Amino acid sequence: MSTNPLILFAPLLGALIAGLFGHRLGKAMSQKVTILGVMVALVLSIGAFFRIAVDDGAVEHTPIFSWIISGTFHVDFAMFIDRLTAVMLIVVTGVSCMVHIYSVGYMDEDPDHPRFFSYLSLFTFAMLMLVTGDNFLQLFFGWEGVGLASYLLIGFWFKKESACNAAIKAFLVNRVGDFGFALGIFTIYMVFDTLDYAEVFRLAGSGHYPHGIDFLFFGPVDTITLICLLLFVGAMGKSAQLGLHTWLPDAMEGPTPVSALIHAATMVTAGVFMVCRASPLFELSETALAVVTLVGAATAFFAASVGLVQNDIKRVVAYSTCSQLGYMFFAAGVSAYAASMFHLMTHAFFKALLFLGSGAVINAMHHEQDMRRMGGLRKKIPETYLLMMIGTLALTGFPFLAGFYSKDIILESAFAAHSVTGTVAWLLGITAAAMTTFYSFRLIFMTFHGRPADTHAYDHAHEPPLSMRAPLLVLAAGAIGAGYIGRPMVEEGWFKGAIPLAPGHEALAHAHHVHWIIGWLPFGMFLFGLFLAWRLYILQPGLSGQIAGRWPKLYRFLANAWFFDRLYDRLFVQSARALGTGLWRVGDETIIDGYGVNGLANRIGLLAGWLRRRQTGYLYHYALAMLVGLVVLITWCV
Amino acid sequence: MLSLVTFLPLVGAAAILFAVHRDASARIVALGVSLATFLLSLGLYAAFDTSTAEFQFLEEVPWLPGLGIAYRMGVDGISLSLLLLTTLLTPICILASWESIKTRVREYMMAFLALESFVIGVFCALDFLLFYILWEAMLIPMFLLIGIWGGPRRVYAALKFFLYTLAGSVVMLIAVLVLAHQGHTFSIPELMKLHLPLNVQVWLFLGFFVSFAVKVPMWPVHTWLPDAHVEAPTAGSVILAGILLKMGAYGFLRFSLPMLPEASHYFAPFIYGLSLVAVVYTALVALMQTDLKKLIAYSSVSHMGFVTLGLFAFNRLGIEGGVLQMINHGLVSGALFLLVGVVYDRLHTREIARFGGLALRMPVYATLFMVFTMAAVGLPGTNGFVGEFLVLLGVFATSKGVATVAATGVVLGAAYMLWMFKKVVFGEIRHADVDALTDITPRELALFVPLLVLVFWIGFYPDPFLRLLHASVNGLLTQMAAGGVGAEHATLVAP
């Protein structure tokens, strides 16, 4: 009997206990129960990781029970752990555990404690379902499950109108992505008659399937390309890629620990994980890979450019997350899946650190999130400053910290792919790297350097309590060491059967041999970005305002995130509302009921009334009618 | 056994009429009788053999032998699952009316029990005449429930409901007579073996279609439903959404598909078209509703669109998904109407804008509301997902375009449900009477517990429910295959 299913059920149990009996158990007990659940999952995950990845054990596959059976359609709930899943297990349970502990301090004043911890554990359960499935439907289960948890947590402060709207937006935009994802699953089932990973990948690899199918008005299309692109639409929603990214910045309405866990380290990386998990399919379609590369690169560039001008501390980090996810995707697009997973892992540490650090800053400033009202905090909260600096350096790729290894290998892979899309991705990625450094240090400088903008808040700023500091220290250790420790992941074949590469897809192998100038170029970009940030925010603090004034249109374009929200509002929200009203008032009430149902009733009523009025009761009316009738009859007969 | 289950509620109604004179005891008798019926129907479930497609618990008593008419009863997996849904929902409805119905309680309970009898009878009838009589009979108690215990515009709504459905049934009567004439019998199992030429099938199909389409209801004959729901008392809405809407789809399954397979195939694109319009159109309309019950009523039309899509996919996944979706819709929309009833009883309004902030005063209620909202949205882990997923999977095999358009309904469904949920449950408290609300009582909670259990049970382990359907759907597919229609597998590769 394997203990692996306990990895799933321990957090679920914690969530149920805290959710159902939380108000009776009280605050402290709810915390303990959920933290215990996640810790059990963490310990077991570490065990599984050691067995599978360190001791080189076999893939562990434990079916739990059959979910849906109808005819030949058969789907199980299962625990499937190979090296790919093992890495995800560590990331998910590790960050989740840190975030649970951090929340004890951060949410201390909130009366709704049990509910919050219950949601966090529920999220952890759904995310673990997502990564441990052995089939596409369990993946989808987790996929929508994390969407629900995200919805609940973004809207946690449900009294706030903006939080509720952000929650709905996150759910709906993700639903749009899931729409594509579901169609992808339907296509997989139709083509392969199964949703099991192993079977699907085996059949796809063997080539025994119909290679072209008709899809809507596109005519016959390549089967695998179609499947991959549909699945990728789902990934774009979940991982906030350009086009379906609009929910992520708004999701910052949720409590900060949520942003760290869901919107930085785990849920948003589900799309990346999915592409890596389905890499045996993606490897078979050059078109799909090219799309993944371009979308990823465009997102990396777009989000970084928007991050340059944000003033809300959490929004800067949110756009940064969006941008870093773009890096992960274009790495996957050039078949450097291992680099993608490597960056996913390191990013989880330093981005969770940055978010939780921002939370500490917000906490210190009494729920102020606008960086323009901060400044000079390094003297008041030096420890937080140090931790934020570590996170920033790790993100921006300062030598020998986590991001240095993982981001560089991604850029090198894109360069070494020697394809048009790879080169485009490299150019956009290297530009985005400079922007990343700029906005990250802009954040540091605006928050911790210079003069305090709000002296009252500044005077009352304080370091966070121990329960918040301890997780930050653990994550900081990860941000420093994860890159060095995790390097073996990107060596050839570390992921074994989980990520088989098609012949010719050797970008990652070549990445180790690029020219040293290419290798050190990101560091050059780092210095350039740092210099600019220093020039604009330390040396000459008024200069940034002048630049914004010089190009107002460009500034507005960036500040409004390329106007995506406004476009979508006009295009979808307004038109759906107008259409809904029109169909209701005109379609249902005027046409169907007005002319149809009630109209018919009225006609019948009128006809009956007319007939009734003919029966006047006056003898001479009847006599006249008879006479006319008689005349007509005679005329006709004669 | 079947007759006992069918007529026990009617006996109960008679008992109330003759022997019970106090309101309080009428409630208790009604609840007792409906619970006994439920337990008996569980006995049916236990004794049911899931390995065969044959009708079971057969009863046959000659009635008008010269015309081939008899009292014939029997169930297969499909009708048994709908029967169980009925016997489950009726006691819940009676309990839901415990306090909210204050006038003419005895008559109300009698109407409800009679309705239960007729509905069960419709699902069990294996004789066309019996079926038709019960089909019409069930209109009467429903008409009374809306017309007597309904809201301010109850007379308009009741008449609209009655005339709409009656207009449909008249055409069906002609079709029934023609069919019986062709087969020289009114026995439904006998008539299923009949093979008619396509042109006759086409006319018969149209005859049945009008009646069933009104009941489902399909677009554009759906406009009676919002009015009926808004005016009906809570329990009336539950039974209307939960059971009566299933009649149309059941009719398609029991008659149109097996008896008229070629015509069904011939009209499938037409059905698809109407269903898609229903899914998308009513979802958009639901988005703009300001009355809670109207919103749920429109969402019902949208959800029933999925059912008809699934049935006319002509493959196992689609049909099993369609039937499961009928059950799911019964449970979930029933629960949603009950939830509306809970706040209506307290505030006497259904205006969405009058609520807001309920989560602050009614946390248990808010949690229940959340679960059923998510089930309506089709979140994995709830019953809604399993049904919708199977339907879409089945339809996708038949037509990718149809499945794609239908899937947009899933997005729109999330939009209106979440918007409604936010307006009602989230936000600040804006009205003094909302501030004074108390959470649901144990009696009210008892209404939701069985539904809640089923939402998750079907969501995580639908096997006991699907297993009930396998053999019957198999039989149906075999029958249709004899007409050259349908496909066993929804895939391109043979397993």
B493 pLDDT tier (thresholds 50, 70, 90): very low
Q: Do B396 and A588 touch (CB under 8 A)?
A: no
Q: Which residues of A touch B407 (CB under 8 A)?
A: 179, 182-183
How far is CA B307 from each of CA A184, A385, A588, B336, B404, rounded to the nearest angstrom? 22, 58, 22, 19, 15
Using DSSP, state whether B196 is helix, strand or coil: coil
Cα–Cα nearest to A183, from A147, A216, A145, A149: A216
> Average pLDDT, whole number, for chain A?
89
How does pLDDT run across B394-420, given as a tens digit for each residue? 999 888 889 999 998 889 999 999 999
pLDDT of residue B488: 52
Q: Mean per-residue pLDDT for B61-67?
A: 85
Q: How many CB pairs under 8 A join A and B?
A: 160
CB contact at 8 A, A338 and A508: yes
In whole angstroms, give the CA distance from residue B191 to residue B258. Answer: 9
In whole angstroms, give the CA distance from residue B58 to residue B444. Answer: 38
DSSP B62-103: EEEGGGTEEEEEEE-HHHHHHHHHHHHHHHHHHHHTTTT--S
Residue A468 in this model has a pLDDT that exceeds 50: yes
Of the partner residues A68, A172, A592, the one whose CB lies closest to the CB of residue B411: A172
Q: Which residues of A touch B426 (CB under 8 A)?
A: 155, 158-159, 164
As given in the structure block, the two tokens for residue A177 are: 């992505």
Q: Do A159 and B357 touch (CB under 8 A)?
A: yes
Residue A296 distance to chain B (closest CA, Å):
25
> Residue length, chain B?
495
As given in the structure block, the two tokens for residue A336 are: 């450097």
- pTM of the shown model: 0.91
pLDDT of residue B495: 35
Q: Mean per-residue pLDDT for A382-397?
A: 93
As given in the structure block, the two tokens for residue B196 are: 């008619």
Choose from B389, B470, B474 for mutation: most chain A CBs within 10 A. B389
Of the partner residues B288, B381, B404, the one whose CB lies closest to the CB of residue A584: B288
Q: Which residues of A touch B164 (CB under 8 A)?
A: 597
A253 at the B interface (CB within 8 A)?
Answer: no
Residue B214 distance to chain A (closest CA, Å):
13
Q: What are phi and psi of A338, to 5 degrees?
A: -65, -40
CB contact at 8 A, A270 and A232: no
How does pLDDT run across B130-150, given as a tens digit for each residue? 999 999 898 889 988 888 888
Q: Mean per-residue pLDDT for B229-241?
A: 89
Q: Which residues of A touch B380 (CB under 8 A)?
A: 140-141, 144-145
Among A residues 274-293, those touching chain B with beta carbons less than 8 Å apart: none
Percentage of chain A modeled with pLDDT above 90 = 53
Q: Mean per-residue pLDDT for B97-126?
A: 90
How far is CA A61 from each of CA A43, A64, A514, rounded to the nearest angstrom? 19, 10, 39
Of the partner residues A68, A191, A583, the one whose CB lies closest to the CB of residue B386: A68
In whole angstroms, give the CA distance from residue A496 to residue A490. Answer: 11
Of the partner residues A67, A72, A171, the one whose CB lies closest to the CB of residue B489: A72
Choose from B230, B291, B374, B411 for mutation: most chain A CBs within 10 A. B411
B489 pLDDT tier (thresholds 50, 70, 90): low
Of the partner residues B226, B316, B428, the one whose CB lies closest to the CB of residue A71: B316
Torsion, Cα B412 B418 B424 B429, to 10 degrees, reads -130
Tokens 């949410």, located at residue:
A107
CB contact at 8 A, B318 and B387: no
- What spatial distance separates the first Cα and last Cα of chain A, rounded to whole Å? 104
pLDDT of residue B494: 40
How does pLDDT run across A563-619, given as a tens digit for each residue? 888 888 888 888 888 888 888 877 777 777 777 777 777 777 788 877 777 777 787
Cα–Cα nearest to B261, from B318, B308, B321, B204: B204
Q: Which residues of B touch A576 (CB under 8 A)?
A: 284, 287, 412, 415
A600 at the B interface (CB within 8 A)?
Answer: no
User: Nearest residue of A to residue B160 by CA position?
Assistant: A597
How does pLDDT run across B18-28, given as a tens digit for each residue? 888 888 888 89
> Average pLDDT, whole number, for chain B?
88
Residue A194 distance to chain B (closest CA, Å):
9
A214 at the B interface (CB within 8 A)?
Answer: yes
Residue B189 distance to chain A (closest CA, Å):
25
Q: Do B288 and A592 touch (CB under 8 A)?
A: no
Q: Specify burial of residue A527 (Cβ count, 10 A radius: 0-12, 13-18, 19+).
A: exposed
CB neighbour list of residue A596: distance below 8 Å, 6 or more residues apart: B220, B223
Of the partner residues A67, A167, A584, the one whose CB lies closest to the CB of residue B285: A584
Residue A176 in this model has a pLDDT that exceeds 70: yes
Q: Mean per-residue pLDDT for A299-318?
A: 93
Q: Do B414 and A69 touch (CB under 8 A)?
A: no
As given in the structure block, the two tokens for residue A392 are: 């920033």
In whole angstroms, give the CA distance from residue A437 to residue A376. Answer: 20
Residue B429 in this model has a pLDDT that exceeds 90: no
How does pLDDT run across A21-57, given as a tens digit for each residue? 888 888 889 999 999 999 999 999 999 999 998 888 8
As given in the structure block, the two tokens for residue A115 are: 């509910």
As given in the structure block, the two tokens for residue B304 are: 């029933």
pLDDT of residue B35: 93
A218 at the B interface (CB within 8 A)?
Answer: no
In whole angstroms, give the CA distance from residue A69 to residue A375. Answer: 60
Q: Mean per-residue pLDDT for A114-124?
A: 93
Q: What are phi and psi of B233, to 5 degrees?
A: -65, 165
Among A residues 189-208, those touching chain B with beta carbons less than 8 Å apart: 189-193, 203, 208
Q: Do B400 and A214 touch (CB under 8 A)?
A: yes
pLDDT of residue A219: 76
pLDDT of residue A450: 84
B491 pLDDT tier (thresholds 50, 70, 90): low
B490 pLDDT tier (thresholds 50, 70, 90): low
Q: Do B287 and A69 touch (CB under 8 A)?
A: no
Q: Mean per-residue pLDDT for B239-260?
A: 90
Bridge partners (DSSP) of residue A70 are: A73
More confident position, A97 or A590: A97
Choose from B412, B418, B458, B473 for mutation: most chain A CBs within 10 A. B418
Q: Do A164 and B422 touch (CB under 8 A)?
A: yes
Choose from B162, B282, B285 for mutation: most chain A CBs within 10 A. B285
In whole angstroms, give the CA distance from residue A113 to residue A117. Answer: 6
pLDDT of residue B372: 95
Of the partner residues B317, B357, B360, the one whose CB lies closest to the CB of residue A70: B317
pLDDT of residue A103: 92
Crossing angle for the helix pair B363-377 and B400-425, to the nearest 10 degrees: 170
Q: Do A179 and B408 touch (CB under 8 A)?
A: yes
Choose from A16, A21, A73, A200 for mutation: most chain B CBs within 10 A. A73
B285 at the A interface (CB within 8 A)?
Answer: yes
Cα–Cα nearest to A319, from A247, A387, A372, A367: A247
